[in-house]
């Protein structure tokens, strides 16, 4: 089916005065990449047409991440012991007074990060770091090298296998420190590694570390006691601990997402409570947002910074006004999805494609598409299998 | 989103139609984009305004990411004061996110504006009003290729000329008068008093620079923030970084600068309060120029620092520069 965009996909044929072609076509294009929950396949959809444009067979079921540039999708296959990469085929170029877009076919790249049990993957400033839990090793590669297939990954080893994460931060790398006596427990803090790949000796305690996100030039990592907030420093990253506010209900954050356009973080906290976090505020740095039922997934809105999104187990998508700190719109999209059961059962996930929000509905085999402003469904795309993890890439620009 | 400059006509219409009386005794809610404009706003508005400054002391507006609290303050504001000239790369998204109905005023409008290549240009000089507009809420979506934080055709650091600072003050007073007619006499009075101080400052700077030897007037800073000071007062500034602090200088840029420092017999080198000093320290080590202290370019110091106000900032920079050259 065709999804309704409020803005035409081909916006204009602009006439430039100098230095550019006389007629540069303005094009907006969005692709959604969807991993199946039970099959080792990723499907790519053209969002405007609502049609599958390609599909990629993987080694195992995947969770998807997109690079900041949108040129690469990373498919993390925990049980197949690898991270595969898909070139999205869409590239945006910033030329100051205008932007270019090039659109090609998506393609599975040759680059693979292989190792035992990859789970967490973080991409920052063009470098991706996948952490392999059963090895305790982070493998890093640049997005450019992944696209070109020109570089072997660089390994950075923590002290032992554990459920960890590695976060590129300029020339430094932040790597989790495993629990000293219980390999199955969550990490106990962050260690800083220098440009030479060796530990600097800097350590920031963070009990039960799980969940990381970036917003602006900040990185936040969730702990049982609060957040570690990492900011650029004159010589090395500046890491400080932000304790949870005293007025919050019982809980802790284990998943974080970061705002774009506005610098804030959104985290889970209790089953029906999210927290909006402004780490630079002296007061009200944590603002709880109550949800009607338990949260299934949540996301920030990269195109409309005022809004964040949450999907709850009653089948509703909610729009959160991050300035007011409350839900301002809700829409029913799916049948209920209970949070009881296995953590990895197929449940809806959220992606944002410019003005449109896309929600996977694994049990119905659909992608629901919602307009951000009206917050009404604009269509649904039928998908084979159980559409689960998804990311959107694209944008607008001139073609020459 | 339309760039601010494109929304100007709509804004002028709003400025005429906007309510002109301040409701009750409530102060006029004003947002200033960064500390120097905040200082100007405080000097003109006095206790009739409630001021929120987004990028505070020692903050770098080039790379600032606004917070939800900034959007909330902007939503409450009736006047938003910005430098314009694409200095505040964060502004369009903040305005859109806030949904504000405030009048957004580019206080550099009508100032003597230099193009990015440093040659004098009277692009704005024929306009005698601050550019104002009422934001329409339309905007770019993520994924669109943005203009980023480049400064386009003009050098935005216009406040580094005291003559331009006078224009800023006049624009601010005019904007306050349009929104709060009852307070207009007070705003005009405050502005006039401040302009007198600016004129004294301008004379001080000219006198001090005149006392420097003509062949000892080349100095080094971190980024190209002092083009207006150079144009107005006759010093020559070199910098490894361009008009924005966002992009790193390349090795080739630094090597070329070091050659230029030697060729032009630069007299002194300075760090800036908003930039990492390492680059300047590296150039210092390569050239043998001893760092002459910290200059305040795009932000004031905190209250305990030497540049807590615009007047203090300009005097501090003048003293720091002339002392370093005298000792070189």
Mean pLDDT of chain A: 92
- Contacts of residue B73 in chain A, CB cutoff 8 Å? none
List the single residue in B with minimal CA-CA distance to A324.
B72
Q: How many other C-beta atoms can be found within 10 angstroms of the C-beta atom of residue A2?
A: 13
Which percentage of chain A shows pLDDT scores above 70? Answer: 93
Strands A366-371 and A377-382: antiparallel
Q: How far is B38 from chain A (nearest CA, A)?
A: 19
Helix (H) or strand (E) holding A15: none
Environment class of residue B170 by beta-carbon count within 10 Å: exposed (0-12), middle (13-18) or buried (19+)? Answer: buried
Q: Do A396 and B143 touch (CB under 8 A)?
A: yes
Question: Quick check: is A1 in a domain?
Answer: no
Q: How far is B283 from chain A (nearest CA, A)?
A: 17
- Give whole-number Cα distances, B149 to A135, B64, B89, B273, in Å: 41, 10, 5, 19
Q: Do B143 and A302 touch (CB under 8 A)?
A: yes
CB B120 within 8 A of CB B113: no
Supply the ipTM of this predicted assembly.
0.85
- Whether the CB of B137 is below 8 Å from some CB of chain A: the reply is no
- Give whole-number Cα distances, B13 to A70, A289, B76, B132, B133, in Å: 40, 39, 21, 9, 8
Give the pLDDT confidence score for residue B152 in this predicted structure: 63
Q: Which of A70, A234, A264 lies nearest to residue B68, judging by beta carbons? A: A264
Report the half-sphere exposure of B189 (CA within 13 A, side-chain side). Answer: 6
Residue A247 contacts by C-beta under 8 Å, 6 or more apart in sequence? none
- Contacts of residue A95 in chain B, CB cutoff 8 Å? 145
The closest alpha carbon to A164, from A139, A197, A143, belongs to A139
Optimal mutation site among A88, A96, A280, A326, interface B, most CBs of chain B within 10 A: A96
Q: What is the 3-state secondary structure (H, E, C) of A237-301?
A: CEEEEEECCCCCCCCCCCCEEECCCCCCEEEEEECCEEEEECCCCCCCCEEEEECCCCEEEEEEC
- H-only helix segments in chain B: 8-17, 35-45, 68-76, 91-98, 162-179, 184-210, 227-233, 251-263, 278-287, 310-327
- How many domains is chain A built from? 1
Q: Do B148 and A397 touch (CB under 8 A)?
A: no
- Whether the CB of B263 is below 8 Å from some CB of chain A: the reply is no
**Domain segments of chain B as ranges:** 4-196, 201-327
- Whether the CB of A170 is below 8 Å from some CB of chain B: the reply is no
Query: CA-to-CA distance for A298 and A274, rounded, in angstroms?
Result: 9
- Whether the CB of A207 is below 8 Å from some CB of chain B: the reply is no
**Average pLDDT value for residue range A294-318:** 97
List the single residue in A with minimal CA-CA distance to B90.
A261
Question: Quick check: is A3 in a domain?
Answer: no
- Contacts of residue A352 in chain B, CB cutoff 8 Å? 142
pLDDT band at B143 (very low <50, low <70, confident <90, very high): very low
CB A5 within 8 A of CB A48: yes
CATH T-level assignment (fold) for domain B201-327: Rossmann fold (3.40.50)
pLDDT, tens digit (0-9, with 9 covering 90-100), for B243-274:
666 666 677 777 877 887 787 788 888 888 87
Q: Do B145 and A276 touch (CB under 8 A)?
A: no
Shared fold status for B4-196 and B201-327: yes
Instruction: Tell me if residue B10 falls in helix, strand or coil.
Output: helix
pLDDT band at A194 (very low <50, low <70, confident <90, very high): very high
* Stretch among A11-25, A107-121, A231-245, B90-104 having the lowest mean pLDDT: A11-25
- Contacts of residue B69 in chain A, CB cutoff 8 Å? 278, 281
pLDDT greater than 90 at residue B125:
no
Q: Which of A93, A97, A264 lies nearest to residue B147, judging by beta carbons? A: A97
Higher pLDDT, B133 or B207: B207
pLDDT greater than 60 at residue B325:
yes
Evaluate whether the domain defined by B4-196 bears CATH number 3.40.50.300. no
pLDDT, tens digit (0-9, with 9 covering 90-100), for B151-195:
568 999 999 999 999 999 999 999 999 999 999 999 999 999 999
Helix (H) or strand (E) holding A146: helix A143-148
List the single residue in B with minimal CA-CA distance to A307.
B97
Q: How far is B181 from chain A (nearest CA, A)?
A: 30
Instruction: Tell me if residue A184 falls in helix, strand or coil.
Output: coil
Question: Quick check: is A4 in a domain?
Answer: no
Query: CA-to-CA distance for A284 and A291, rounded, in angstroms?
Result: 19
pLDDT band at B301 (very low <50, low <70, confident <90, very high): very high
**Domain residues for A104?**
10-399
- Whether the CB of B290 is below 8 Å from some CB of chain A: the reply is no
Q: Do B93 and A261 touch (CB under 8 A)?
A: yes
Question: Quick check: is A395 in a domain?
Answer: yes
Q: Do A278 and B68 touch (CB under 8 A)?
A: yes
Crossing angle for the helix pair B278-287 and B251-263, nearest 10 degrees? 50
CATH code assigned at A394: 2.140.10.20
Q: Do A354 and B278 touch (CB under 8 A)?
A: no
- Whether the CB of B63 is below 8 Å from some CB of chain A: the reply is yes
pLDDT greater than 70 at residue A8:
no
φ and ψ of B51, to 5 deg? -105, 130
Structure tokens at B53: 């400054």
The closest alpha carbon to A205, from A183, A187, A218, A231, belongs to A187
């Amino acid at each position: 089916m065709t999804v309704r965009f409020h803005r035409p996909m081909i916006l204009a044929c602009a006439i430039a005065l100098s230095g550019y072609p006389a007629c540069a076509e303005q094009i907006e294009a969005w692709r959604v990449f969807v991993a199946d929950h039970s099959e080792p396949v990723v499907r790519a959809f053209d969002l405007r047409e609502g049609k599958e444009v390609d599909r990629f067979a993987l080694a195992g079921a995947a969770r998807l991440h997109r690079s900041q540039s949108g040129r690469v999708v990373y498919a993390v296959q925990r049980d197949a012991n690898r991270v595969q990469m898909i070139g999205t085929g869409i590239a945006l170029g910033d030329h100051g007074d205008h932007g270019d877009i090039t659109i090609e076919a998506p393609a599975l790249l040759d680059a693979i990060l292989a190792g035992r049990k990859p789970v967490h993957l973080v991409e920052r400033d063009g470098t991706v770091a996948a952490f392999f839990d059963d090895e305790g090793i982070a493998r890093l590669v640049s997005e450019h090298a992944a696209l070109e297939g020109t570089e072997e990954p660089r390994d950075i080893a923590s002290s032992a296998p554990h459920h960890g994460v590695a976060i590129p931060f300029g020339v430094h790398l932040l790597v989790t420190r495993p629990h000293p006596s219980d390999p199955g427990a969550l990490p106990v803090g962050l260690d800083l590694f220098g440009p030479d790949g060796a530990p600097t000796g800097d350590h920031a305690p963070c009990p039960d570390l799980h969940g990381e996100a970036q917003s602006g030039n900040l990185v936040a990592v969730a702990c049982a006691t609060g957040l570690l907030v990492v900011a650029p420093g004159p010589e090395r990253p500046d890491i400080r601990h932000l304790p949870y506010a005293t007025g919050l209900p019982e809980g802790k954050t284990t998943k974080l997402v970061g705002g774009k356009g506005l610098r804030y973080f959104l985290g889970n906290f209790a089953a029906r409570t999210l927290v909006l976090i402004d780490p630079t505020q002296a007061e009200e740095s944590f603002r709880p947002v109550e949800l009607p039922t338990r949260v299934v997934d949540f996301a920030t809105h990269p195109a409309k910074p005022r809004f964040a999104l949450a999907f709850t187990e009653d089948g509703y998508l909610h729009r959160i006004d991050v300035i007011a700190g409350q839900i301002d719109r809700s829409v029913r999209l799916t049948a209920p999805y209970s949070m009881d059961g296995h953590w990895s059962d197929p449940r809806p996930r959220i992606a944002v494609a410019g003005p449109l929000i896309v929600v996977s509905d694994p049990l119905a085999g659909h992608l629901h598409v919602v307009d951000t402003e009206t917050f009404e469904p604009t269509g649904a795309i039928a998908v084979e299998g159980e559409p689960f993890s998804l990311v959107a890439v694209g944008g607008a620009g001139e073609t020459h | 989103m339309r760039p601010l400059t494109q929304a100007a006509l709509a804004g002028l219409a709003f400025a005429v139609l906007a309510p002109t009386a301040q409701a009750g005794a409530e102060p006029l809610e004003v947002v200033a984009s960064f500390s120097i404009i905040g200082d100007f706003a405080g000097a003109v508005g006095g206790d009739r305004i409630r001021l929120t400054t987004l990028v505070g002391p020692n903050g770098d507006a080039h790379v600032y990411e606004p917070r939800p609290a900034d959007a909330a303050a902007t939503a409450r504001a009736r006047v938003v004061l910005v430098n314009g000239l694409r200095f505040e790369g964060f502004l369009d998204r903040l305005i859109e996110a806030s949904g504000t109905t405030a009048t957004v005023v580019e206080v550099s409008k009508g100032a003597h504006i230099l193009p990015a290549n440093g040659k004098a240009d009277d692009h704005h000089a024929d306009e005698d009003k601050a550019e104002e507009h009422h934001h329409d809420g339309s905007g770019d979506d993520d994924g669109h290729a943005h203009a980023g934080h480049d400064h386009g055709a003009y050098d935005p650091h216009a406040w580094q000329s005291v003559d331009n600072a006078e224009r800023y003050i006049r624009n601010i007073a005019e904007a306050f008068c349009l929104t709060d007619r009852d307070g207009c006499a007070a705003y005009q009075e405050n502005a006039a008093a401040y302009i007198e101080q600016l004129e004294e400052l301008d004379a001080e700077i000219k006198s001090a620079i005149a006392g420097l030897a003509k062949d000892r007037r080349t100095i080094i800073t971190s980024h190209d923030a002092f083009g207006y000071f150079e144009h107005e007062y006759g010093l020559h500034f070199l910098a490894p970084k361009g008009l924005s602090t966002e992009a790193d200088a390349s090795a080739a840029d630094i090597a070329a600068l070091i050659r230029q420092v030697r060729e032009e017999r630069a007299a002194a080198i300075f760090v800036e309060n908003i930039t990492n000093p390492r680059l300047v320290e590296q150039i210092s080590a390569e050239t043998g120029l001893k760092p002459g202290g910290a200059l305040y370019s795009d932000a004031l110091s905190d209250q305990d620092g030497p540049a807590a106000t615009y007047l203090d900032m300009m005097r501090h920079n003048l003293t720091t520069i002339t002392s370093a050259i005298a000792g070189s």
